[in-house]
Amino acid sequence: MPETGPKSAITIRDLKAFSELKMVEALEKEVWGVSDLDVIPMTLAVATREAGSIWLGAFDGRELVGFAFAFLGLESNSLMLHSHMLAVRQAYRDSDLGYKLKLAQRERALALRIREITWTFDPLQSKNAHLNFDKLGVVSSSYKVDFYGPETSSVLHRNSTDRLWVRWPLASRRVQDRLQRKEHRTHALEALATLVPLVRFHAGGTPERTDLSAALKRQRIAIEIPSDIGDVEQRDPALAREWRLATRWAFTEALAAGFFVAEFCRTVRGKQGPGVYILEKGTIEEYVPELQRAWA
């Protein structure tokens, strides 16, 4: 794996050739550290591409340094895209490439008159939470316990495979504002100033659960997570497990009680501190009216 950054301008384009899908296979192994069994089989990759799924690659010269794969799906009888994989090679991260791959996916979907893309991600991954909620503007009302089973061969799937199922309302005002990078954090940060988190990043980095019934009576709930769960998993797997169980409890209780996940703010209490989800009482359809119209 190269430890250097871009050698030339990065281009994003559709993956067409068999050899390009083969490069995806190698990148999957590199990014997730998966065994052969958990890699997307080439036969399936070719078939999905031929049948209209969207395979996008980010290239530095001839080298594949990132990709995004989304297939067509149905939700409430409407066509949507489900983005199954997004990856950027380590040395190319934190330079907006993941974001640009999502923008390219959005463009392809809108050209097909698809109004929504869904995907899942591990809610303990602070970086993914920031990309998904803060930069892209997704919302979520669904938490899946052990989505891919208790574990897979991936190094990223050791601490169970719980996922938030997120919805990206492509043409909504919310998403358009996010993509224009309009300021939206003031409201969220004000809300956080007075909120007792349902799971709190306690001294020493442990998760502290607070009073559930008090939290459910409020209009907003906050759930904190560590800023780097990968580091916690390596140093202290038992502590990472504690974080999984505490946040699973908080999300499932809050969503079952009629909240949805609206925002994620990172490092609200200094650089080494936690990031925090904000859940609001109500439905995502009320919050993002275009989600309702997408199904009309």
Ligand X SMILES: CC(C)(COP(=O)(O)OP(=O)(O)OC[C@H]1O[C@@H](n2cnc3c(N)ncnc32)[C@H](O)[C@@H]1OP(=O)(O)O)[C@@H](O)C(=O)NCCC(=O)NCCS
To the nearest whole angstrom, how small is the minimum distance from the Cβ of residue 41 to ligand X? 18
Find all residues with CB under 8 Å of 180, minimum gap 6, and list them.
Answer: none
For residue 236, which amino acid is it? Answer: D
Give strand pairing partners of 209: 199
The residue within the footprint of ligand X, chosen from 38, 96, 107, 253 (CB under 6 A), is 96
By the rule CB under 6 A, 261 interacts with ligand X: no
DSSP state of 1: -
DSSP state of 36: G
To the nearest whole angstrom, how small is the minimum distance from the Cβ of residue 227 to ligand X? 5
Q: How far is CA 154 from the centre of its chain?
A: 17
- 34 vs 262, which CB is nearer to ligand X? 34
What is the C-alpha separation between 254 and 277, in angstroms, rounded?
Answer: 12
By the rule CB under 6 A, 158 interacts with ligand X: no
What is the C-alpha separation between 48 and 70, in angstroms, rounded?
Answer: 9
Count residues binding ligand X (CB under 6 A).
23
- 169 vs 274, which CB is nearer to ligand X? 274
The residue within the footprint of ligand X, chosen from 12, 23, 81, 97 (CB under 6 A), is 97
Task: Quote the radius of gyration of the chain (alpha carbons, Å).
Answer: 19
Q: What is the number of the residue whose Cβ is closest to ligand X?
A: 98
By the rule CB under 6 A, 126 interacts with ligand X: yes
To the nearest whole angstrom, how small is the minimum distance from the Cβ of residue 58 to ligand X? 9
What is the C-alpha separation between 4 and 1, in angstroms, rounded?
Answer: 9
The residue within the footprint of ligand X, chosen from 15, 24, 27, 131 (CB under 6 A), is 131
Kindly list the residues in this chain that would bind ligand X in the complex (CB under 6 A).
31, 85-88, 93-99, 121, 126-128, 130-131, 135, 227-228, 266, 275
